Structure 1
Amino acid sequence: MVGCADVIRSYPTDDCAWIGLLLFSGAHQSRGYGKTALALINAIAREWGCRQDRGSASDAKPSSYALVARQVSNNANKSAARVAV
């Protein structure tokens, strides 16, 4: 397995998609797959009629949190919650 994602349509609001999990195996990390996956999730969410993507990121792995933070800062319609582990 390369990775997996858990995306919930219309949560927490009808116009929002919640990214509950985006995970890649160790051998597939730091290769740009996360950025590509987030772009694909965003496109699918737009097809669903969602205007926002939301999710959470653990600060236990700084590079993962940085990816989410960059994606959020690049799009004003997104928001993220920081979850410390």
Structure 2
Amino acid sequence: PEAIIVHYMDDILICAATRSYLSAPLKKTVSTIEKAGFVIAQDKIQMSALWTYLGYLITGRTVTPQIFSINEQPQALEHIQR
């Protein structure tokens, strides 16, 4: 296949070996989503490495869990649920 498309809820990942292979599937996906009445936040589109997707960091060769840090101790249950 020229590209692989993975989605979870409203997060979409389109992968291809080269930008030229990515072009057509990306345009078709965006067009289909917009025709369905959805809006794509252009500032969320990541076209160059290092990509983030569902808590993972993706490079041209690796996928690793994203590192998160907690800056303060939660004082109540509602702080944890944010």
Task: Provide the TM-score with structure 2 as the length reference.
Answer: 0.42
Higher relative contact order (CA 8 A, sep 6+): 1
Which structure features the higher share of strand residues? 1
Task: Provide the TM-score with structure 1 as the length reference.
Answer: 0.41
Which structure features the higher share of helix residues? 1
The structure with the largest alpha-carbon Rg is 2
